[in-house]
Amino acid sequence: MATACVKSLESVQCGTCEKTIANGTEFYALLFDKHPDLRHYFKGNENLTGADVKKSDHFKKQGQRLLLACHVLAHLENDPASFKAYAREIVDRHLRMSVHLEPKLWSEFWPIWLDYLSTKESVDDATKNAWLALGKKFSDECLDLKMSYVYE
């Protein structure tokens, strides 16, 4: 499973060059254009279009954070303790930034991620299933009862 996820990331590298920065902003452009109902989570940016997002310095940085998180999760999938710790770090990061997501969004992110990934490469069933399984593992950790403080 981890191998399929890691392999699929070859087409969406993170980094500092124009192409890799575009990888991140293109994800958010897709999110803003196809899922306008999620814009309210981006305070001060709710009225941006996908085209606006691509030019935004904020989303250039945010896109890299998101890509890096997906890369890290894919590489940690076979290391359960580190995977869980990183999932919790992602939740904590959202909370530190006062981003309180609806619990369902921890799992609903992954089909959006696959939609984006399919704009970069052909996503076969094995890759799709691998990302959805990783996403379930990730969201299960985020929603663990021990983390109920997150949603208070």
Three-class DSSP labels, 67-79 = HHHHHHHHHHCCC
* Those residues with Cβ within 8 angstroms of residue 59's Cβ, 6 or more apart along the chain or in another chain: 24, 25, 28, 45, 53
- From CA 142, how far away is CA 148, in angstroms rounded? 9
- From CA 30, how far away is CA 28, in angstroms rounded? 5
Using CB atoms within 10 Å of the CB of residue 130, give its burial: 0 to 12 exposed, 13 to 18 middle, 19+ buried.
buried
- From CA 28, how far away is CA 55, in angstroms rounded? 11
- Residue 94, annotated as binding a ligand: yes
CB 73 within 8 A of CB 110: no
Residues at the binding site for heme are: 94
Residues at the binding site are: 94
